[in-house]
Amino acid sequence: MLEERQNRQTVTFKSFIGSIKSLLQNKSFLLHNLGYSCNIGIYSSIGTLLNQLILNYFPGEQEEAGRMGLVMILTGMVGSIVTGIVLDKTHKYKETSFVIFVFTALCLGGLTVSLEMKSKWMVYVAIGMFGFFLNGYLPAGIEFAIEMTFPAPESTVTGILMTTSQILTVILTIILGIVLEKCGALLCSITMISVVGIGCILTLFTPNKLKRQQAFMKDRNVSFTPLKQ
């Protein structure tokens, strides 16, 4: 059953600034913010550089590169839906985020191997799985952030996540573009895997504080046992 959103409050400019200051002092949120930004940064960067990356291995196959990108987007949509269902059923926000991050790194590694082998069917499978997990992280990452920052306004939390991720996206796109041009597609892929790996580590060390769940359980007079850190 979907949770009832009870975190409703009137937001003034003063309270908005106060919530931002509070969030920027929340070490758990800052760790998660960086991890989330690593994921979104790679998602946006690979969307920009995918055509160049594919054409390095399959010259002149612009249409093929476009179809591969489409597969990544479509499976990503499915991934987001599946993640939402899993979160609604389990409420395992950190665990879900971490597992998705690990599989994203593994699938990106599989995509790199497939490209090096120049096997189109393997690339389609790998990029489909990569898109599924990469895009599936978005709802998990946002919900985990809202959980640990409750009762901060959800719009403010999401806004900070998006702002940081867009800044990192610009930086990563520039860096990966240079690496792709100067050092080749393989090193570019390895760099992306490294960034996703950093995101995995940051997520692993993010404290699992489910403040929103605790508040809901308290309101319903239900005992709540926090998960071990």
Provide the CA 54 distance to its chain's centre, in angstroms.
23
The string of pLDDT tens digits covering residues 115-172 is: 999 899 999 999 999 999 988 998 898 888 888 888 777 888 888 889 999 999 999 9
Residue 193 has pLDDT above 90, yes or no: yes
Percent of all residues in the chain with a pLDDT value above 70, rounded to a whole number: 84
Question: How far is the C-alpha of 71 from the C-alpha of 76, rounded, in Å?
Answer: 8
Q: At what angle do helices 93-117 and 62-90 cross, to 10 degrees?
A: 160
In the predicted model, is pLDDT for residue 188 greater than 50? yes
> In sequence order, which ranges of 25-91 are alpha helices (DSSP H)?
27-57, 62-90
Domains of the chain: 27-219 (1.20.1250.20)
Predicted model pTM: 0.80
**Is there a contact between 7 and 212 (Cβ–Cβ < 8 Å)?**
yes
Give the model confidence (pLDDT) of 19-63 as tens digits: 777 777 788 888 999 999 999 899 888 888 888 889 988 998 888
